[in-house]
Structures are given as C-alpha cells and as structure tokens.
Chains A and B, each alone.
Chain A
Amino acid sequence: MVEAAGWWPVLVAPALLLAGAVLAVAGDAMLAARYAGRPARAAVAAVPLLEVARLLAQQPRTLPKADRLLWRLGVVTVPVAAVLSVLVIPFGHRAVADLSVGVVWFNAMEVLTWAGLWLAGWGPNAAFSLIGGYRFVAQGLAYELPLMFALISPATAAQSLGVGDIAEAQQGLWFAVWMPVAFAGYLAGVLAFAFLGPFGYPAGRDTAAGVLGETAGVDRLLLQAGRWLWLTSGAAMAVPLFLGGAAGPGVPGWAWSALKTLLVLAVLVWSLRRLPVLRADRYAEFAWVVLVPLTIAQALVPALVVLDR
C-alpha cells in the first residue's frame, strides 16, 4: 500500500530525481566518449558536472527587445514541472502525495513543458530560438495523443487513476508484458517530452541549438537540467505504470523502485545516441497515422479484460 509520509519526502523526492538525472548525464557522457573512440573513464563522466559550474558562473545573455519576463518564466517552468511531476510517483511504498488523479497530474505537468518551451523560444526575440519553440509544439501535437492513450491503458486495467493503485494492480503480471504497445508508446513519449535524442529536433544543430540557442548561464543550465530531469521522471513513472512498482523478492521495495528506474533510464540513455533525429512533420504523420490507431487498439485490450473480470 502506498502511503503519504510526513514532510521529509518533499525534500527527498527532488533530491532522488536530481541524482537520477546526474547519473543519466554521466552515462550519456561515457557513451559519447565510447562512440567517439575515446576511453570512457570516470573523468569523462565528470565533464558535464564541470559544465554546471561553468554555466553557474557565466553571464546571462541580454538581447534587444527580449521579453525577459516570459523568457524567465518559460525557462523556469521546464525543470519545475519535472520536479512537480514526481510528487505522485511512489518510491518504494511511499509517495509525496498519492493523488487520486495521479496519472492526470503527471500528464498535466508534462504538458506544462509545452508552455515552458514555447515561452523559452519566444522570449529572447531571436529567430532560431522561436523556430525551436515552434518545433516543440509541432512535436507535442504528434507525441501527445499516443502518450495519453499509453497512460490510459494501465489506468484502465487498474480501474484507477491513482499511481499507487496502478502499481498495486500488477501483482502477478506486469502491464509491460501484456500492454507492450502502450509501454513502447510511453517510452517514445518520455524521449519526446524530454526533447532528447531522436526528439532533440527543437534544440537541433541545424538551427544552432534552437530553443537553447540564445540561452546562457543559469538559463541554459535550467533548460538542460529540465531535459534530464524529465527523462528521469519519465523513467521513474514507467516503473509503477508498467513494471509492477516496488514489488519484487528479497530486497525492500525502495531498492526495487530504484533498480527498475535505473534500468529504464539506462535503456533510454542508450537509445539517445542510437536513433536518428526525427523531423517533427515526419513524426507527426507517423504518430497520427500509425501510433494513434495502435495505441487506441491497445487501450481497448485492458478495457475488454476489465469488462470480463
């Protein structure tokens, strides 16, 4: 049973999320070194952390006629929404707030990145940056519906929107086993709302880093942190939704939660450099013509199973 426990998880949950994101960044740096033919030593993994120090000391950029208020708002929204999304994710058998509408909460926080990234693109009054913002909106219109159906499938099977109830409902068989399409659609959605790897189009190199292009210093740090925090949060959410939550033999629940989260995170980080960047218009057609019907059919499966139960 998932229980809300005191005030201290409010501090622990963001710390755990940050730790996961740091591990993901370090792993990504190691993989990058390996693919580049350099030795993947521990020093390589520390390079992104040195980058944090550099960004903290860097001057923020000022541009003529920039809409500073909206720019800052957008930049802050992305990591803050990521942190807020983990409030409903149980770690072990504890969640900060196991809301009765946890799945909808997670989805709403994820959609907040739309607003955040569009604002981060609009604010600096620069063309490439705005193009990056528009690209994320186009990508969002493509990934959102399959992701929503992927979220609805386990909720239907568990007959509850609460994340704790969904984890509870998977005793015996994980949802990932009998809802593979929803699981795959969910993982694609995670990469998309973290705009990393194949979905890094909004921050693409062809537009000089797009939505990140005009940011410097703390602004850039926040946006980059937001990407990795979202990747980690998505991986953590996959565990109660599809991988049985904290259930497992031997070690206590929190260890299983951590282990499963890190495994999902490792798969996601590995895939980042294995897949080509997708153009939003191409992915939009694929998503609407292929993924939406597939995920709807997938959502039908648990509906029928529940009806028969």
Chain B
Amino acid sequence: MDTVRLALLAGLGVLALAGGVLVFTCDSMARVTFALLGSLCCVGGVVTVLGLPYLGVAIVLMMVMEMVIMAVFMIAYMMNPAGLMPMSMLHNKRGSLLVSGAVFAALVAAVLLTPWPARTGPPPPDTTFQLGKALMGTQMLTMLVLGFALLATMVGATVLATHRGRYDRFGDDLGRRQARDPAGGGVGR
C-alpha cells in the first residue's frame, strides 16, 4: 500500500468513527441521520480504498437513498425530531456501555492476538468481474436466497405497513373494477 492510500484509509476511518459517535450524541434527528450517512459513506470509501470500487461506490449510493428515507421516517415518528428540546431517550445506559465496551475489548484482543496467515494469491485484475462471476456461478444459491429474502421483505413490509386490504380497495365481494384508493395515481385515474 502506498502512502496516499494509507492516508485515505486513516482519514476515512477516523471520520467513520466520529460519525458513529455523533449518531448517539446529537439531539436533532436530522443531524443524527446524516451523521450516520457520513459514517457509512466513509465505510464505502474504506471499501473502495481496499480495492473494491464497485462495492464501495454501490454502498455509498445505497446508503444515501436509505438514509434520506430514514430521515423521513425519523421525522414522522420521533417526538423531538429537530432536537430543539434536548432529552434523553436511553435505557440501561451503564449496562449497554459495559457490554459494548467488553465486546470492543474482546474484538481488539482477538484481532491483535490472532496469528493471521499470509495472503493467498494476488487480487484479480477486475474485482467487479470477480464478484459478478461468483454471484452468477458458484455463489448462485446465495444470490437466489438473497433475491427471495428481498422479495419476501417487500411483500411482508407492505403488508405490515398498510392498513388497507383488498376488501377496502375492491369492495366486499372484490367486484369493483378500479380500486378505491385515497390517493389518485397517474394511470387511468
């Protein structure tokens, strides 16, 4: 690794940790969300610097969309979204600190004490190609499972989140031709 990459890695790592700390110290929910976004974008940057540009940039792309949607929900549900009235919404702070501190210590000890093996083989010339080939070849089963998990999530999340079923939309005997929805759409209505 050359110095530029090392410097980038160090900077991004420090920023990611700082963003992570800000997530649980800021009062404003908007700031919290975007601190998390900053932290996860730095994670994407670290992944890119480590030689996986496709995954790194895709993580940034996905996290931006995810966090903007998250901000919408935060503002919708939290009782103090703008943080104009600081309040603590924690339970069992000491226990949590203890547990997470112990986990951190254990992880660091494991990292430092494990005799890591040497690298097996050189990195491939095109990492994106490596990933695509794996997902469409040897890891096809993984890809299928992930796809089904995402599909199940879409269906399950929609069912959980909506309070209107098909009888609300299409009438008691499901005979209505056009669904009666509270918001009109752009197709045919």
Enumerate chain A interface residues (CB-CB to B < 8 A).
Answer: 65, 67, 69-70, 73, 99-101, 104-105, 107-108, 111-112, 114-115, 118-119, 122, 125, 134, 137, 140-141, 144, 161, 278-279, 281-286, 289-290
CB–CB A101/B53 < 8 A = yes
The closest CB in chain A to the CB of B127 belongs to A100
* Whole-angstrom CA separation of A193 from B186 in the bound complex: 20
Option from B60, B126, B185 in Cβ contact (under 8 Å) with A100: B126
> With A100-B126, A101-B54, A108-B57 as given contacts, are A281 and B185 in contact (CB-CB < 8 Å)?
yes
Residues of B within 8 A of A279 (CB): 186
* Whole-angstrom CA separation of A119 from B68 in the bound complex: 9
CB–CB B31/A108 < 8 A = no
CB–CB B128/A101 < 8 A = yes
Option from B28, B61, B185 in Cβ contact (under 8 Å) with A282: B185
CB–CB B187/A285 < 8 A = yes
> With A108-B61, A137-B69 as given contacts, are A285 and B31 in contact (CB-CB < 8 Å)?
no
* Whole-angstrom CA separation of A290 from B82 in the bound complex: 38
Residues of B within 8 A of A118 (CB): 68, 71
Q: Pick from B28, B58, B64 the residue with the most CB of A within 10 Å.
A: B64
Residues of A within 8 A of B126 (CB): 100
Closest 9 CB pairs of A and B: A285-B185, A282-B186, A286-B186, A108-B61, A285-B186, A104-B57, A114-B68, A111-B64, A101-B54
CB–CB A67/B31 < 8 A = yes
CB–CB A161/B54 < 8 A = yes
Asked if B12 is at the interface (CB within 8 A of a chain A CB), the reply is: no
* Whole-angstrom CA separation of A14 from B37 in the bound complex: 26
* Whole-angstrom CA separation of A210 from B104 in the bound complex: 46
Residues of B within 8 A of A104 (CB): 54, 57-58, 61
15 pairs, A vs B, C-beta closer than 8 Å: A69-B31, A70-B31, A100-B54, A104-B54, A108-B61, A114-B65, A115-B64, A115-B67, A140-B68, A281-B184, A282-B185, A283-B186, A285-B185, A289-B185, A290-B187
Number of A-B contacts (CB under 8 A): 81
Residues of B within 8 A of A69 (CB): 31
Asked if B84 is at the interface (CB within 8 A of a chain A CB), the reply is: yes
> With A70-B34, A144-B65 as given contacts, are A134 and B57 in contact (CB-CB < 8 Å)?
no
* Whole-angstrom CA separation of A300 from B128 in the bound complex: 20
| Least CB distance, A255 to chain B, in whole angstroms | 31
Within 8 A of A (CB), among B22-70: 28, 30-31, 34, 37, 53-54, 57-58, 60-61, 64-65, 67-69
Within 8 A of A (CB), among B59-97: 60-61, 64-65, 67-69, 71-72, 82, 84
* Whole-angstrom CA separation of A100 from B58 in the bound complex: 13
If A67-B82, A104-B54, A105-B57 are given as contacts, then 13 extra A-B residue pairs at C-beta distance below 8 Å, sorted by A number, are: A67-B28, A67-B31, A70-B30, A73-B34, A101-B57, A104-B57, A108-B57, A115-B34, A115-B64, A144-B65, A279-B186, A284-B185, A286-B185
